[in-house]
């Protein structure tokens, strides 16, 4: 099979690799659509601590089952499926507590083991889900980022009546704005450098959009969602929070970056800082919820590339013009 291979030092190759064989509990899937996110941008240059190289990227995907292991009973060739990329052990304390994303034995598909930017990918059947009837693969590949937003929502509780500020209008920021709108937020502001993405944020529920450094006011929001991955945004977010405000950190920031933090502010304003990493147990909920967003792919996916154009896909994903970029592995 043909597959994209990253070496963690910036090299991107399309190679011929052996076709994967299913273990007893595995599926072999032919991915039809694979999303690119901030994790992939970091992974491509080796700036992601849990990356294991060389690796085939691709953790947001949907496709068709082409083979099943001998112990698999719930799936058959021809089934259209998506998959939770986080393969946890299910036995450790974190897994028992529902924090499967924090499992010390976690093996994330497309990060620590080969993913879906290939003609074929091996997936444990326990993390696979059938696509809802009539759903196309492009929409199915958006289930993973939606699950990330649903997990983040579970970390902070209700947002109804809150003044919300979102940094970044990539796919996560847009979905966060849409979620806050649907859950009755009082107001939603979005800070984003790209005019194209600012326009998208208005489509997804923002009441106002701003370029970085242009939003007036301090200490006037209840919740900041940092979805840009820029440390300067996280630092600025702390200045925006009103008393008992919450900073929700979703963006992937380089692990070497730091920001200034004044403990007195945490004390004096009773601020809360919450991290939200990946999706924990939210994937099944996202499979159900995405059926209520039938036009999501047409609104979200702005660029598609064949498998051999992965470098161009990464460039587009980091550009001002992209909402969500998809790679189509069966298109060479």
The confidence score (pLDDT) of residue 50 equals: 85
pLDDT confidence band for 332 (50 / 70 / 90): confident
Token pair recorded at residue 282: 């939210």
Task: Tell me the average pLDDT across 169-183.
Answer: 95
Phi-psi domain of 244 (left: phi exceeds 0; alpha: psi -120 through 50; beta: other): left
Q: Which two tokens stand for residue 318?
A: 């980091």
Local structure of 87: helix, strand or coil: strand
pLDDT computed for residue 47 by the predictor: 85
Task: Confirm if 55 and 45 have CB atoms less than 8 A apart.
Answer: no
User: Cα-Cα-Cα-Cα dihedral of 92, 62, 60, 183, to 10°?
Assistant: -90
Going by DSSP bridges, is the β-strand pair 324-328/128-130 parallel, antiparallel, or unpaired? Answer: unpaired
With 90 as the cut, is the pLDDT of residue 163 above it? yes
Using pLDDT thresholds of 50, 70 and 90, give the confidence band for residue 48: confident
Average pLDDT over residues 51-62: 96
| Average pLDDT of the segment spanning 101-114 | 97
pLDDT of residue 38: 85
CA distance 38 to 80: 26
Rounded Cα distance, 309 and 329, in Å: 10
pLDDT tens string 240-294: 999 999 999 999 888 889 999 899 999 999 999 999 999 999 999 999 999 888 8
Residue 213 backbone zone (phi > 0: left; psi -120 to 50: alpha; other: beta): left
Q: What is the CATH number of domain 147-275?
A: 3.40.50.720
CA distance 118 to 29: 10
Q: What is the mean pLDDT of residues 32-61?
A: 93
Q: Chain-centre distance of CA 74, in angstroms? A: 27
State the pLDDT at residue 254: 84
pLDDT of res. 234: 94
Please give the Cα distance from 157 to 178 (Å, whole number): 16
Higher pLDDT, 25 or 295: 25
What would be the CATH architecture of the domain defined by 2-141+294-328? Alpha-Beta Complex (3.90)
Q: Tens digit of pLDDT for each residue in 122-162?
A: 999 999 999 999 999 999 999 999 999 999 999 999 999 99
| Whole-model pTM over 0.85 | yes
In the chain, where the domains are located: 2-141+294-328, 147-275
Confidence bin at 320 (pLDDT 50/70/90): confident
């Amino acid at each position: 099979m043909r597959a994209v291979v990253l070496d963690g030092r910036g090299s991107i190759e399309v190679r011929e690799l052996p076709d994967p064989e299913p273990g007893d509990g595995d599926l072999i899937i032919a991915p039809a659509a694979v999303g690119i996110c901030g994790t992939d941008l970091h992974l491509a240059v080796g700036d992601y601590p849990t990356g294991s190289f060389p690796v085939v990227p691709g953790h947001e995907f949907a496709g068709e089952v082409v083979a099943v292991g001998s112990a698999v009973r719930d799936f058959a060739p021809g089934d259209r499926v998506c998959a939770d990329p986080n393969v946890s052990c299910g036995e450790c304390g974190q897994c028992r507590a529902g924090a499967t994303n924090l499992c010390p034995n976690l093996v994330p598909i497309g990060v620590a083991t080969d993913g879906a930017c290939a003609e074929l990918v091996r997936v444990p059947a326990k993390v696979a889900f059938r696509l809802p009837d009539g759903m196309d693969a492009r929409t199915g590949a958006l289930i993973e980022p939606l699950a990330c937003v649903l997990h983040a929502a579970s970390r902070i509780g209700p947002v109804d009546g809150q003044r919300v500020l979102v940094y970044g209008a990539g796919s996560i920021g847009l979905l966060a704005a849409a979620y806050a709108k649907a859950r009755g937020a009082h107001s939603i502001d979005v800070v984003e450098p790209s005019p194209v993405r600012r326009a998208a944020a208005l489509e997804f529920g923002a009441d106002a959009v701003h370029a970085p450094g242009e939003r007036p006011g301090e200490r006037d929001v209840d919740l900041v969602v940092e979805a840009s991955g820029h440390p300067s945004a996280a630092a600025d977010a702390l200045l925006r929070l009103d008393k008992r405000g919450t900073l929700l950190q979703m963006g992937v920031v380089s692990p070497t970056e730091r920001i200034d933090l004044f403990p007195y502010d945490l004390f004096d304003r009773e601020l809360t800082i919450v991290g939200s990493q990946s999706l924990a147990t939210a994937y099944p909920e996202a499979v159900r919820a995405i059926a209520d967003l039938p036009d999501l792919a047409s609104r979200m996916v702005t660029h598609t590339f064949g498998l051999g154009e992965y470098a161009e896909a990464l460039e587009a994903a980091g550009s001002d013009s992209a909402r969500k970029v998809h790679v189509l592995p069966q298109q060479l």
